Amino acid sequence: MVAKIFFVFILFFFSLSLIAEIKITLREKIGGDYKNFYTRSHGLYYFSSVVLAGLFANTKADESISSFYQGKIRSEETDVISSYLKPFGNRSTMVGFLGVFFVLKAFDKLTQNFFPSIFVERVSRMLFVGVPLLLLTQTTLGGTRPIALEPHSHWAPFQNSYAVSASGHSFFGALPFLALATMTESLFLRTVLIAASTLTAFSRLNDNQHYFSQIFLGWSLAFLSFDAVDTKKFSLRLLVKRSQEDFALGFSYQFQ
């Protein structure tokens, strides 16, 4: 666990140093991304996501969803589909994106309007802005995997060696699809790509590697990173309905 955190932070700070060394303007973009990421509306969205995830994690809901899926839905066919989706969320895939990113940025004047260069840059910027909060969430909440020796979804802050309370695969695997969503003006394509960004998260539920709350938190952080990097206007609102009989919590979004 300590080695994992050390690796990611070294990668993060090395990346920023290399960006400065090759003297590109990306530092300003990343600075803008952080400014967009740490806003009041994003803080409310993150807090609401944690609360919602907590309702699943600290009740029987998470374990019920896992048991139902494994017993009623999982099959050889879903395992095959999952095997194709999982690699999108591997750390090696993200390291590959960063490697290509730095190579292309070293020749920025030649590649700045090159579609693959723009795509890889968007993925990398989402990594830079989202990984610190992902690590904090993983380390703080302290859940376990469904396949652990003593599996439980409930949170035990700082108590578990493996930080899995926010799924890294769900976060990383969503970024390529969300990066593509930033590159199109079509509302239909953006919606399809945002929906497709949940596919790697599905693979983690299918493979019994994460509970639903962990998958949801990982993807939510990816979505916040997308919203910070996206240059188009995107309105995200928290909806709360209260009455004497019931209480409802939800989100709405609007492209402009």
Give the pLDDT band of residue 234 (cuts 50, 70, 90).
Answer: low
Cα torsion 59, 62, 64, 66 to 10°: value is -160
Q: CB neighbours (10 Å) of residue 158?
A: 9
Contacts 24+ apart (CB under 8 A), 143-148: 143/57, 143/211, 143/213, 143/214, 145/208, 145/209, 145/210, 146/63, 146/66, 146/208, 146/209, 146/210, 146/211, 147/208, 147/209
Question: What distance in Å separates the CA atoms of residue 81 and residue 207, rounded to the nearest whole number?
Answer: 11
* Cα 189–chain centre separation: 20
205 in Cβ contact with 215 (< 8 Å) = yes
180 in Cβ contact with 90 (< 8 Å) = no
162 in Cβ contact with 145 (< 8 Å) = yes
Range of weakest confidence among 8-12, 56-60, 137-141, 164-168? 8-12
pLDDT reported for residue 226 = 93
Q: Which residue has the tokens 């932070």?
A: 9
128 in Cβ contact with 222 (< 8 Å) = no
Kindly state the average pLDDT of the residues 66-78: 91
Q: CB neighbours (10 Å) of residue 164?
A: 23
Q: Quick one: DSSP state of residue 163?
A: -
Q: Count up the domains in the chain and report the number.
A: 1
Higher pLDDT, 89 or 176: 176
Gap between the terminal Cα atoms of the chain: 41
> Which tens digits make up the pLDDT trace of 156-167?
777 655 667 888
pLDDT reported for residue 183 = 86
97 in Cβ contact with 127 (< 8 Å) = yes
Sign of the alpha-carbon torsion through 115, 197, 221, 103: negative
Does the pTM surpass 0.85? The reply is: no
171 in Cβ contact with 218 (< 8 Å) = yes
126 in Cβ contact with 102 (< 8 Å) = no
Give the pLDDT band of residue 213 (cuts 50, 70, 90).
Answer: very high
Strand-pair partners of 238: 251
Averaged confidence pLDDT in the chain: 79
pLDDT reported for residue 172 = 92
211 in Cβ contact with 56 (< 8 Å) = yes
**What does 51-74 look like in DSSP terms, one character per residue?**
HHHHHHHTSSHHHHHHHHIIIII-
Question: What distance in Å separates the CA atoms of residue 208 and residue 198, rounded to the nearest whole number?
Answer: 16
Q: Which domain holds residue 159?
A: 2-255
